[in-house]
Amino acid sequence: MSTLPLEGIRVVELSHMVMGPACGMVLADLGAEVIKVEPPKGDGTRHLPGAGAGFFRIFNRNKKSVAVDLGTTAGQEAILALVDSADVFIENFKPGRMAGFGLDYDTLHARNPALIYVSHKGFLKGPYEHRLALDEVVQMMGGLAYMTGPAGQPLRAGSSVNDIMGGMFGAIGVLAALHERNRTGRGKAIQSALFENCVLLCAQHMQQYAVTGQAPAPMPSRISAWSIYDVFRFAGDEQMFVAATGDGQWAALCRVLGQEALLDDPSLATNTARVAQRPRLLAHLAEIFATLDAQALAVQLERNGIPFAAIRKPEELFDDPHLQASGGLATLQLDDGSHTEVPLLPLSFDGERFGPRLALARVGEHTVEVMRGLGYDDTRIEGLQTAGIFSAANEPDAV
């Protein structure tokens, strides 16, 4: 792609973990120059164990790294100079933390009225706004954990869905504010929040209750809207999800399975009728599926337009034939010089995808480059490095 949609937009990001970095990642992939400000020792997210081990590398691609001690006057002055040159400022620290550094919206807006300031918090303004929140916290209080787990066993979703979507909504707010700024010349204060994001995820269930008057059951024990919409076990103990959501798909499935007799059963003539017979119908189909090879059946299901899906584990996606063939995975050079495959933004522009342009930045890799661009001479930069206020690695390598 010769030009990128957000070329020429400078973003300063003071964030960690997932929500703020996800916002910066979207903007960076779309072509913005995103400058991540880290402490001299680096963002602690770089070294998380276990379930957090992949956070930094996936949500911080295509970014530059400037390492500055914000606990010092000189460090704060450096970031203020950087913000003066910026179009967008991203933060996701607890309420009041940015004010302590002199980097709150009012202060930065007074210096740079065109600045778009996007905060990622646990809650929007209201009684909960001063609470600390995590993805798991809002999944519990926002209905998602209740809907995900079996009855009486609330269960968080298997990904940081609110953090990631919260970052996406922050990016959407930035794009809208940039468009408005073209008319007004002024920036905006944008806030995205985990709790409100989770409530939106559960809005369909809220309206289910409003429509039916009945409390929605957790997904494992829900009354399905479709008769065939379940995970089945096949020969060799392989599992696959199969669905038939309309009469055409139902008829096609019966023919694929050699069960044309079911099409003559008046008690199964419509989807509503089949839902009423669902336990009996699923038990019958389960017996059939248990004798079949899942991979062979998948070919026939695809040929006949019947929805299906193998049950995949995350590590298996590296070898997914569609992702491999379509360019949905791309190589990212990591900060230690090694490489990994990462999924790209799930969109294309004129058929082209947005891939990695920079190696994952080492801590402070771009400190010298960026500060020189702000008018800091080498003597001043070296003095701040010696004092431990700046940290600088080598210059970046292009991917």
Please list the active-site residues.
163
Crossing angle of helices 194-201/203-212, nearest 10°? 50
> How far is it, in rounded angstroms, from Cα 282 to Cα 268?
12
DSSP three-state, residue 288: helix
Residue with tokens 């990695």, as numbered in its chain: 356
The rounded distance, in Å, linking the Cα atoms of 155 and 152 is 10
First and final C-alpha spacing in the chain: 15
The region that residue 350 occupies, defined by phi over 0 for left and psi between -120 and 50 for alpha, beta otherwise, is left
Give the Cα separation of 384 and 298 in Å (integer). Answer: 62
Residue 298: how many CA atoms within 13 Å on its side-chain side?
Answer: 13
